[in-house]
Amino acid sequence: MKTTRRQFMAGSAAATAGMVLAQGASAEETSNGNRPNIVLLFADDAGYGDLSCYGHPTIHTPKLDELASEGTRFTSFYVNPSCTPARAALLTGRHPVRPGGVAGVLGPGSTSGLPADEITIATALKGEGYRTKCVGKWHLGHAEEEFMPTSHGFDEYFGLLYSNDMIPPWVDTDEPLELYRDTEPIEHPVDQYTVTTRYTEEAVKFIHESADDSFFLYLPYTMPHLPLATAEQFEGQSRAGLYGDVIEALDWSAGEIMDALREAGVADNTLVIWLSDNGPWINMPDRMLQEGPDGLVNKPWHAGSPGPFREAKGTTYEGGVRVPTIVWWPDEVPSGRIIQEPANSMDLFTSILRACGADVPDDRPIDGNDLWPLLRGETEESPTQVHHYFNGGQLQAVRQGPWKLRLASGEPELFHLDRDYMERFNVAEDYPDRVEELRALMEEMAEETGASIP
């Protein structure tokens, strides 16, 4: 760890000084007049079709189903197709390919990370007096102190610094996978069977300790990323096998957190969001099909469901980037509503900050839009009318309204996602003008961000 605390604090002060309050929904405009608490639950590799409220026939998720019925769920919510960029986009509201972002997946030996001058949700909310904690998988850098969660606005951290498969035999590395508290490792090797339950215990404790304050809890789960593991109490409980057991453990975790919010008396003033970082790993490489330490075994069926969509994690087809997303906030978000309009994880950055009365940066491009008029039902139109699909440093596709142009497969692929959400019928030859319009949008964004186009 080379960055000193003094150097980091100077960088943070400079970043905070560059922010101004943007117009939009603020804490004073909520129905109860109080700043909301924020609970952001972020699954790892869960597919669009993995929850029963999103159509899974054998996985039972009653707690998340209840959250969806009492809140609002999206059917066209987008993320990046891989782990690290998905986290960077969520926390900063910016395309990770932009300067300062993290566009590639980091590994145990990575020397880069999210720079200290990037402004995260936690940075902004901490500046407003919020208590902040990250529990779970970080995956935004660890080689320097400036990359760690506690250098990005989080008062406390408990979790794994990168993916749980980044150990032999699945990854060739001498770096140990360790469980961290703040900036110090506390467990090696990691008991992966209990990470979900221990994350939940940490989250519940933080909620009770913070009940008298405004707080932000970010819980990026390790599961259901391979290798799958779950506590004994969940083993064999799902008809969908081990994968189902793991998802049902995440459902239990969401239920425990909701119970803690109610017990602490803060549920009605808490915005809860549940989503996944990308689609399921149904295209896992052969290296993963080896027996690992501590009885961990991966099988081809240890992966989730993209639902009705094409392909999976690591691709810019819909199955890789469209994820289940639930938003819950009593009296602010209508219950039982389904939003079919497109939105993305970067929109959560702007929307959360505005809900909390926090500053939205104006000294850098922010790609997230304010979703509150859409979420509150004041409009049926999403502010995100154009969505760009990045994969690493490439801009591979764009969506405008129902039309999607994808250039990653050689010949242009044009899909009408309202009529053909499975992306089976390429109609590029039938609509050449549409192809050129969308290509122009991609070229404009590529020039702005420095991305390449296939």
Q: Which of 83, 93, 10 minimizes the C-alpha distance to 42?
A: 83
Beta-bridge mates of residue 403: 400, 416
- Non-local (6+) Cβ contacts of 29 within 8 A are none
Give ∠ CA 18-370-130 in degrees, rounded to 5.
Answer: 55
Q: Which of 83, 142, 356, 387 is catalytic?
A: 83
53 is catalytic: no
Residue 291 CA: distances (Å) to CA of 168, 190, 216, 295: 10, 16, 38, 7
Q: Please confirm, yes or no, whether 356 is among the known catalytic residues.
A: no
Identify the active-site residue in 95, 139, 142, 388.
139
Encoded amino acid at 156, one letter: E
Question: CA-CA distance, 386 to 375, in Å (whole number)?
Answer: 18
| Catalytic residue ranges | 83, 139
